[in-house]
Amino acid sequence: MKYEKEISRRKTFAIISHPDAGKTTLTEKFLLFGGAIQVAGAVKSNKIKKHATSDFMEIERQRGISVATSVMTFEYKGISINLLDTPGHKDFAEDTYRTLTAVDSVILVIDSVNGVEAQTRRLMEVCRMRDTPVIVFINKMDRDGKNRFDLLEEIENELKISLHPMTWPINSGKEFKGVYNLHDKNLRLFTASTKAEDDDEDVYSISNLSDTLLDAKVGERDAAQLREDVELIDGVYGQLNASDYLEGKIAPVFFGSAVNNFGVKEMLDAFIQIAPIPKSRETSTRTVAAEEDKFSGFIFKIHANLDPKHRDRIAFMRVCSGKFERNKYFHHVRLDKDMRFSNPYSFMARSKDVIEDAFAGDVVGLFDTGNFKIGDTLTEGEDFYFVGIPTFSPEIFKELVNKDPMKTKQMEKGISQLTDEGVAQLFTQFGGNKKIIGCVGELQFEVIQYRLLQEYGAACEFRTLPFYKACWLTSKSPEKLADFLRYKQQNSAEDKDANPVYLAQSEWFLNTEINNNPDIVFHFSSEIHK
Ligand code: G4P
């Protein structure tokens, strides 16, 4: 337990939201509080604007920015905070899901006007799979939003999580007057501010809501409304049980306005108090405790070099236990090979620094010349791999067609490396040798086509295939599985690790096959094969 002190001061989390809810703005305010940046506007929005679907410069820009802001490490009140960035664009959702495997908790930003949106739902599903503790930030209270109680009900119903308000807003939009902190029992009046000082000028301690100071500050009508609301909240929500939050059952809720830096500090203060420190993680053989002396970690993201002359990449590794050290040999479990790293990076808000060591919760950038795949585990010699880093079924499938037979080798290498990075999934059809690329969004096909040409000199095009879902197959009876694959050759393929996959044209076909083949198990994520 040599490293307990280091671990107890680390919090690793991600901010997630539907695009435009305010993730970038909130990130920036956090960094201001952490002293990692000095001026507002320093964090560039990393989203690809909607019109930029075919704007490759925009894709390149995105790649450049996202490396710089992939992990932002800053200190706040003695706590070392690792904030992992997630891409906003829905076509990069898979990237976001993987990043969520490397965090210990999340802050979910919801736009008070739009409420729960498509991406919010999908992101929460991923959080629920891992029981990730969630704090909710209801943003844009300076705009006329939905009724607060309705909004909470909508979030609870749609995201299937119980909520617990930590602050309560007084009106919204032009009438927004501030928030009452239900736990610290104080009132913060709304002021638009972009500063990051510990500015408590507009905070009034009101431990008893019958205090006439409340009427003086917000007016009699709003004071009466707040008293009524709080009575209702106390009755419905009771006390926050910290272990329910840590188990992912209850999400504390804060109201505020990120752009006005309002309600952000309250949340950050609560975050450093209640958010979990690095926890134990499951592996293929045993549970690995964060406090263990021996090092272990896994790769959750791989980023290609922007310079096509240098094909090296950066692999992002989450440290799960022990101490990672520069120049020390560690064991790459999948390749059964010992490796050391002379230039491991840590990520500050705006720059990368070579580090000597890192502890559980930290994210280290490793130069990679092609040794890593997403999900790879490094240890001090023990053979196990971390579980819970699944690949989900893609949503769009296309055949990869080589336009230049002279460049077949380059194409093969390129597509292999791009799929190792997790840009897309590669399936090879049984019987033929058709290469099938599966992605979450159309944009990724454009990225692949562009990068194959730019980085590998290989020209390709795509032919749309009529599949809607990939299911990984297992069976207790190898014969039955082999029969099925032979019989369904047109719909059968193997993934990059040679696992059999069934490609279904529609839900109807999928259900029919599931019903007709009780000896075969259809899995909706690749986890089963790890
Ligand atoms: P995202 O990363 O989740 O996609 O959202 P981002 O922070 O980029 O915010 C999306 C838009 O919402 C931005 O406006 C931002 O200024 C605005 N915004 C963020 N927080 C608040 C808030 O509390 N109140 C209001 N009214 N607006 C907020 P934009 O016009 O798209 O961009 P910009 O030109 O302001 O940068």
Residue 198: pLDDT above 80? no
Coil/strand/helix, residue 139: strand
Question: Is the Cβ atom of 28 under 6 angstroms away from ligand 1?
Answer: no
Terminal alpha carbon distance of the chain: 29
Q: Read off the pLDDT band of 354 (50, 70, 90).
A: confident
Closest CA to 261 of 42, 30, 43, 35: 30
Ligand 1 geometric centre to CA of 20 (Å): 6
Q: Where are the alpha helices (DSSP H) in 105-183?
A: 118-130, 148-159
**According to the model, what pLDDT value does residue 196 have?**
53
For residue 256, the ligand 1 atom closest to its alpha carbon is 23
Q: Which tokens in the block code for residue 386?
A: 């971390």
Query: Which residue's CA is the closest to the ligand 1 atom numbered 22?
Result: 140
- Best of 15, 16, 18, 20 for a ligand 1 pocket test (most atoms within 8 Å of beta carbon): 20
For residue 47, the ligand 1 atom closest to its alpha carbon is 4
**According to the model, what pLDDT value does residue 529 have?**
44
φ, ψ at 402 (rounded to 5°): -80, 125
φ, ψ at 125 (rounded to 5°): -60, -40
Question: Is the Cβ atom of 139 under 6 angstroms away from ligand 1?
Answer: yes
Q: Where are the alpha helices (DSSP H) in 328-441?
A: 408-420
Higher pLDDT pick, 21 / 58: 21
* pLDDT (tens digit per residue) in 231-270: 999 888 878 889 999 999 999 999 999 999 999 988 999 9
Question: Is the Cβ atom of 391 under 6 angstroms away from ligand 1?
Answer: no
* pLDDT (tens digit per residue) in 356-386: 899 999 999 998 888 998 899 999 999 999 9
- Best of 259, 260, 261, 264 for a ligand 1 pocket test (most atoms within 8 Å of beta carbon): 259
Closest CA to 21 of 114, 122, 160, 83: 114
Mean pLDDT across 160-165: 93
Total residues found in the chain within this entry: 530
Ligand 1 geometric centre to CA of 101 (Å): 27
**According to the model, what pLDDT value does residue 308 have?**
58
CA–CA separation, 169 and 161 (whole Å):
21
Q: What is the pTM for the complete model shown?
A: 0.86
Q: Read off the pLDDT band of 212 (50, 70, 90).
A: very high
Ligand 1 geometric centre to CA of 276 (Å): 28
**According to the model, what pLDDT value does residue 455 have?**
83
* pLDDT (tens digit per residue) in 22-81: 988 898 899 888 876 655 555 554 444 444 334 445 555 555 555 555 788 888 999 999
Mean pLDDT across 416-430: 88
Go through the domains of the chain in sequence order and give each one's CATH number: 11-274 (3.40.50.300), 281-379 (2.40.30.10), 393-527 (3.30.70.3280)
**According to the model, what pLDDT value does residue 526 have?**
75
Closest CA to 43 of 27, 56, 63, 20: 27
Question: Is the Cβ atom of 15 under 6 angstroms away from ligand 1?
Answer: no
